[in-house]
Amino acid sequence: MSDKPLPQTTDAPHSVSSADETRTPDGVPLAVARPARPSRWSPSLVWLIPLVAALIGGYLAVQAILARGPTITITFRSGEGLEAGKTRIKYKDVDIGEVTAVRISADSKNIEATAQLSKEAERFLARDSRFWIVRPRIAGGSVSGLGTLLSGAYVGMDAGKSSEMSQHFTGLDVPPIITGDLPGRQFVLKAAELGSLDIGAPVYFRRVPVGQVVAYQLDRNGRNVDITVFVNAPYDRFVTADSRFWHASGVDLSISANGLKVNTQSLSAIMLGGVAFETPVSPEESKQAATGSTFTLSNTREQAMQSPDHEVVPLQLKFQQSVRGLAVGAPVDFRGIVIGEVTSIGMEYDAPRKDFNMLVTIRIFPSRLISMSSNLNEARLHQLKLDKMVEHGMRAQLRSGSLLTGQLYVALDFFRDAKPARLGHSQGMDVLPTIPGDLEELQGVLQRIARKLDKVPFDSIGQELDATIKELHATLSTVQQLGHSLDGKVVPQTLQTLQQLQQTLDNANQALQANSPLQQDVRKAAQEVSETARSFRALSDYLDRHPEALIRGKQENRP
């Protein structure tokens, strides 16, 4: 066997023919490469499955891109309840999108949530659309968002009505009470304070709940509170330009010069507060108020239903007595009719008297005098000079409105016997003269009586009274001793005398009986006395006719 290596052959994908073979010097044949003819190839069915899957995936991708809705950004103050990939966006409890990212804003003050909405939600993205985070919440007597205890918080949406579209929104801190598709109208109430009102507090008309409070905020100058209320249809037609609104919150307990008053609207108003309104009866039908009209929110129904005062006359009063019990807002009346109110209370030093004056500023509403008198109009009202009234005895006086509460009020009246005075002026206001009040006069009288009583010598009177009492005591002792003597001596003798007198009366009674001998003798004696009296009467008659018989004697009658 030879040790020479075999020549290497080159593999080629072609066939070798025997005619073309060549040999080496050693006689070993060599293969010669020649091109072979290509064979026909057919695809396998296995490749069809990935192709179909690719086509379906492409179709679904195109459909997803075409069905993809807009991407919006919502800014919230807090990101509580927001979670990317989990927090849903709902419109009327229907899913319309999902929060895809949550990040802190560039100024680090807010939270920006990016949300991907569905294609059908694009028409809801008006500029005035509202978004808020739905969580469990109790407000205005209503409970909302309890379903989120199990499902988690979600972003609620209320579609706006603006024609302008937007993709950037500011989320609400609290859910809106009224949605945009609820029929009714909104109105703005201006109040001095919010009171016990809160979002969701009811609005009453004739004690029927017809709406609720939807928002409140301070005005620009911070002096008032703007309260937005929503009145449901069809009750919103009862809100006219002349409607009056007032607080119906809780129990309105007031103690003033007018006495003790308790006002309330309903049990729910006691618990949650509320607003009530009413339209005064007028001969002309009032027009419905426009949406967004502004009204004044009064504290009580009494204040709300008062006629508007177009003219105000400020006056200043100076009292030289205590004003304890007088409060700002106390009524100013004229013979029982309220024509104004107290606006401020202060004091000033009176150098000539070296004492203080109590300053009370009031305001008078002349229009109330006009409405109360059919013979008084605006022209005549201006003709009534206040200084002339003062000359005729117009004065201001503090009076007690209630002995129970001790509240005072200012009374204006004519006092004909008042000392002459003139209308003064101070700090651009007229100063109306005053007179002491009823209680002040009573206190003065009591003080004068007390001074007179102080001058009475009670000590000497007491000493003399003590001596008199001692003398009286001695006299009483003497009388008592005399009484004892009478009881021991006089009384037994008196009793014996009375017994003897009783026996005498009994004897006299027996003697005076009809059948007693004494009674018969008395009768006979009476008869004899009667006969004797007749004889004397006959003798007297005879002597009257014949006086000569006293000398000559009685002459016998001759035939």
What pTM value is reported for the model? Answer: 0.51
- Determine the average pLDDT of the residues in 447-472: 79
502 or 28, which is more confident? 502
pLDDT digit string (tens) for 349-401?
888 888 898 899 998 887 776 655 555 554 444 445 778 888 888 899 998 87
- Determine the average pLDDT of the residues in 11-19: 44
**pLDDT for residue 474:** 84
Residues in the chain: 559
Residue 99: exposure state from Cβ atoms within 10 A (0-12, 13-18, ≥19): buried
**pLDDT for residue 15:** 44
Band (197; pLDDT cuts 50, 70, 90): confident
Distance CA 116, CA 95 (A): 11
What tokens does 184 get? 């009714």
7 has a pLDDT exceeding 60: no
Band (238; pLDDT cuts 50, 70, 90): very high
- Determine the average pLDDT of the residues in 232-254: 82
**pLDDT for residue 103:** 92
231 has a pLDDT exceeding 90: yes
Distance CA 498, CA 505 (A): 10
Distance CA 180, CA 169 (A): 16
What tokens does 107 get? 């100024």
- Determine the average pLDDT of the residues in 538-558: 68
Coarse DSSP helix, strand, coil percentages of the chain, rounded to the nearest 5 percent: 30, 30, 40
Chain centre distance of CA 74: 41
144 or 405, which is more confident? 405
263 has a pLDDT exceeding 80: no
**pLDDT for residue 27:** 63
Strands 208-218 and 394-400: unpaired
Using CA atoms, how far residue 32 sits from 8, 17, 29, 442, in Å, is: 12, 8, 10, 152
Q: Write down the mean pLDDT value for the chain.
A: 78
Using CA atoms, how far residue 485 sits from 391, 448, 489, in Å, is: 81, 55, 6
pLDDT digit string (tens) for 50-101?
888 888 888 787 776 666 788 899 999 988 888 888 899 998 888 889 999 9
Band (235; pLDDT cuts 50, 70, 90): very high
| HEC letters along 477-514 | HHHHHHHHHHHHHHHHHHHHHHHHHHHHHHHHHHHCCC
Range with the poorest average pLDDT among 2-6, 414-418, 435-439, 536-540 = 2-6
**What phi and psi, each to the nearest 5 degrees, are found at residue 65?**
-70, -40
Residues facing 75 on adjacent strands? 112, 170
Band (119; pLDDT cuts 50, 70, 90): confident
Percent of the chain with pLDDT over 70: 73
Band (295; pLDDT cuts 50, 70, 90): very high
- Determine the average pLDDT of the residues in 536-546: 74
- Determine the average pLDDT of the residues in 288-310: 83
Four-residue CA torsion sign, 121, 122, 126, 128:
positive
Contact 207, 265 (CB under 8 A): yes
